[in-house]
Amino acid sequence: MAEKLILPNEVKVCATCTYWDGERQVDEEMKLVVVSGDGQGECLVTGQEKPALQDSRKVCACIWEDLEPDQVDKAQVEKAQVVKETTQ
């Protein structure tokens, strides 16, 4: 059985990327990813099989993106609400 690793979300390896489709557990509150040391998954950008712990900083074709959801600006939400109200 492979060893499980706990990684902070900001570590730039495949397992912490939005575009990596492999087995992992994500704790959004603690901002951690738990993954098997020998885990594999598909990179949804390149379509290639990638190891969970591959260092994304050294791959030219990589567009690593944090698992953190984008923060919505309060002004953007208010503007969207105004637009919605005027179109109704």
- For the chain, the structural domain boundaries read 4-87
Sheet containing 40-43: give its strands across: 20-22, 40-43, 49-51
Return the DSSP state at 19: T
Please give the Cα distance from 40 to 86 (Å, whole number). Answer: 49
What global pTM score does this model have?
Answer: 0.72
pLDDT in tens, 25-64: 999 889 999 999 999 999 999 999 999 999 988 887 889 9
